[in-house]
Chains A and B, each alone.
Chain A
Amino acid sequence: MLFRHFSAKAIKVKTLPYSETQARHIPSVLLMIIDAIYRLLLSDYYDASQHRQSDEITIKEFAEEIIKLTERIRRLAISLCPKMIPSKDSLTSQRQREILGWEPRVRERKGLKITYDYFKRGALKSGKAVH
């Protein structure tokens, strides 16, 4: 929800507000996840299987990607506690790759563009986009 909210907000504002937290996220594009769920459903694997990107991302990094995409938003309104800046980790789920033959095909940047374009089309149609 956070990432959807962020992408949608980028259509309507010129300053993107965010608060950094200790949390690290691994946002995935919905379209990919549906494919992974379908594979799991038809597979013989019955234990829990994670479905996600392999790279963790912070809220700040996500916001910066949105700024690069929009070309209109020029700055972040930051509420950041320096001690809470998280480190970055990476993990590839072995199960999703080995058992289901599935791994993310859409990386964050491309996924963001797909999402941003989707919201932008909707906002332009409804006249809510800020130019």
Chain B
Amino acid sequence: MDNPHHRFDAIYRASVPAKEFEFYFHDVTKFVHVPGKLDYILHFASPASPIDYLKIPIQTLKVGSLGTHNLLGLAKEKKKARFLIASTSEIYGDPSVHPQNEEYWGNVNPIGPRGVYDEAKRFWSTSNGVSTYHGLETRIVRIFNTYGRA
């Protein structure tokens, strides 16, 4: 599932056999419905580069908040679908601790230039945490700088 900001459908189609792949052209900040059984939901939607997300700050906030909310709703509807979200080292903001371990809470400026991304991702993580209230199975992968071909 992806929205008009990217054209990943062509990339996916080129690398995955057609019968094993179904692409949904949809924006996760809108209500999400996927028919049939789902085992896993992986939420990676969001621009990650400061160059990109500062061009679309509102959309960046929305995909981290509304997008997460909608996908958690989908996970709840699908009962046993396990939900994984992509967190980021950016949730530490301008860290006062080096290196940052998983126990560190960060040092984010909510009105700083990167706030739209950092706070959206923090909301994302918090939503994931409270989802246990609904008995959802959730996972958080906190990714640092990454490069290279897939």
Do A and B make up one complex?
Answer: yes
Query: When the two chains form the complex, which single residue of B49, B84, B98, B145 contacts A41, counting CB atoms closer than 8 Å?
Result: B84
- Are B140 and A3 closer than 8 Å at their CB atoms? no
Chain B residues with CB under 8 A of A24:
98-99
Chain B residues with CB under 8 A of A90:
99
- Are A41 and B82 closer than 8 Å at their CB atoms? yes
Roughly how many angstroms separate A112 CA and B53 CA in the complex, as a whole number? 26
A-B contact number at CB 8 A: 110
- Are B148 and A30 closer than 8 Å at their CB atoms? yes
Roughly how many angstroms separate A7 CA and B138 CA in the complex, as a whole number? 34
- Are B148 and A37 closer than 8 Å at their CB atoms? no
- Are B87 and A1 closer than 8 Å at their CB atoms? no
Chain A residues with CB under 8 A of B60:
none
Which of the candidate stretches A11-19, A48-56, A68-76, A123-131 sits at the interface with the other chain?
A48-56
Interface of B, helix, strand, loop or mixed by DSSP: mixed
Roughly how many angstroms separate A93 CA and B144 CA in the complex, as a whole number? 12
16 residue pairs A–B, Cβ–Cβ below 8 Å:
A3-B145, A7-B148, A24-B99, A27-B145, A34-B150, A40-B84, A41-B82, A43-B139, A46-B139, A48-B142, A49-B141, A50-B89, A51-B142, A51-B144, A91-B99, A111-B147
Query: When the two chains form the complex, which single residue of B99, B139, B147 contacts A40, counting CB atoms closer than 8 Å?
Result: B139
- Are B142 and A1 closer than 8 Å at their CB atoms? no
Roughly how many angstroms separate A111 CA and B145 CA in the complex, as a whole number? 13
Answer whether residue A84 sits at the interface, using C-beta atoms and an 8 A cutoff: no
Residues of A in contact (CB 8 Å), total: 40
Roughly how many angstroms separate A92 CA and B140 CA in the complex, as a whole number? 18
Query: Which of A1, A2, A29, A40 is the most central at the interface, judged by chain B CB atoms within 10 Å of its CB?
Result: A1
- Are B102 and A47 closer than 8 Å at their CB atoms? yes
- Are A47 and B140 closer than 8 Å at their CB atoms? yes
- Are A89 and B99 closer than 8 Å at their CB atoms? yes
Answer whether residue B146 sits at the interface, using C-beta atoms and an 8 A cutoff: yes
Roughly how many angstroms separate A48 CA and B141 CA in the complex, as a whole number? 6
| B8: min CB distance to chain A, Å | 15
Roughly how many angstroms separate A27 CA and B144 CA in the complex, as a whole number? 7
The residue on A at minimum CB distance from B99 is: A91
Query: When the two chains form the complex, which single residue of B49, B137, B143, B145 contacts A25, counting CB atoms closer than 8 Å?
Result: B145
- Are B147 and A26 closer than 8 Å at their CB atoms? no
Contacts A28-B147, A30-B148, A50-B142 aside, 6 further interface pairs with beta carbons under 8 A come to: A3-B145, A27-B147, A30-B150, A31-B148, A49-B142, A91-B101
Chain A residues with CB under 8 A of B140:
46-49
The residue on B at minimum CB distance from A90 is: B99
Roughly how many angstroms separate A29 CA and B141 CA in the complex, as a whole number? 15
